[in-house]
Structure 1
Amino acid sequence: MDLFGSTIRTLENSLDYASTKNRVISNNIANVDTPNYKAKDVVFKNILDDAIQSNLEAKKTNDKHLSFHSESNSTYRVITKNNTIYNHNGNNVDIDKQMSDLAKNQIYYNSLVDRMNGKFNSIRTVVRGGN
């Protein structure tokens, strides 16, 4: 029996994504002056790739062959941006963009927390019998 339904699970996954994004942005900001540091970002996996991986069966002729199925359950991944250079020292962290992304992510995270609190308050109201 799934007591809370899929909403709590979706909110939990979204909070996990927002926390990871916050950690990556903070790491980028901390390394803004580090020579040759490449900025990282959190992106969603390609939906088409996921569909292909879930429907594609591979015949393994050797135990060392890699599986087509992903071991990770998350719907996002951390990537390194290697295709740009903003500073003379090889660093590609754009501090203005990072600060903007941090503010957007904080608003997103706070809205998720508010929504989760609302769900738990609804459940508490039901458990208490409407009081």
Structure 2
Amino acid sequence: MGLFDSTTFQNLQNGLKGAAMEQKAISENIANVDTPNYKAKSAQFQHTLDDAIQNEKMNANRTNNKHIEFGNNASQAYLSEDQSTMYNNNGNNVDIDKEMTDSAKNQIYYNAMTDRLSSKFSSLKSAVRGG
């Protein structure tokens, strides 16, 4: 087990990856706000974090490599496309106000994740220095 293999670090890493995926989707949506027939995309990653929290309670302690591993079957993040709406007559469904709001919300989430990760590293640095 490595120094950064704890579930906290893994969950923070997954949260940062999800926020980066969401920001990419938002950027693509904003860039294609006037593209005919473009459908808005969004990242779906919250379920992966929820699964990780649930699985943390049910992790198995493997005493032998031949034992079956269970409790770590986390699902993957993915991009989804909203096909159900249309805001413009050209078939485009990007709502620029919603995208800007989602961008701000995602930035706050990303900052919270980086602050938490920074505090974890500060705790490790303090432990290494002995104080």
- Same fold? TM cut 0.5: yes
What runs of 5+ residues in structure 2 fail to find an aligned partner?
52-73
| Greater Cα radius of gyration, structure 1 or 2 | 1
Identity of paired residues, percent? 54
2:44 is aligned to 43
Trace 1:1-131 onto structure 2 (pairs within 5 A).
1-4=1-4, 5-44=6-45, 75-130=76-131
Q: TM-score under structure 2 normalisation?
A: 0.75
- Provide closer, same or farther for how the CA distance between residues 92 and 7 of structure 1 changes in structure 2, counting only shifts above 3 A: same
Q: TM-score under structure 1 normalisation?
A: 0.75
Q: 1 or 2 for the larger relative contact order (CA 8 Å, sep ≥6)? A: 1
Contact residue 44 and residue 79 of structure 2 kept, 8 A: yes
- Provide closer, same or farther for how the CA distance between residues 45 and 127 of structure 1 changes in structure 2, counting only shifts above 3 A: closer
SS in 2 for 1:27: helix
Task: Give the aligned length.
Answer: 107
Alpha-carbon offset, residue 76 of structure 1: 1.9
- Provide closer, same or farther for how the CA distance between residues 74 and 23 of structure 1 changes in structure 2, counting only shifts above 3 A: farther
Instruction: Work out the CA distance in 2 between the residues paired with 1:100 and 1:74.
Output: 27
SS in 2 for 1:37: coil
Deviations 1:67-100 (A, max 9, x none): xxxxxx6532101111110001110000010000
Contact residue 47 and residue 75 of structure 2 kept, 8 A: no
Instruction: Work out the CA distance in 1 between the residues paired with 2:47 and 2:121.
Output: 32
Alpha-carbon offset, residue 20 of structure 1: 0.3
Instruction: Work out the CA distance in 1 between the residues paired with 2:45 and 2:16.
Output: 14
Larger CA deviation: 73-82 vs 6-15: 73-82
User: Which structure 1 residue ranges, 4+ long, deviate > 3 Å from structure 2?
Assistant: 44-47
Contact residue 45 and residue 77 of structure 1 kept, 8 A: no
Instruction: Work out the CA distance in 2 between the residues paired with 1:98 and 1:21.
Output: 11
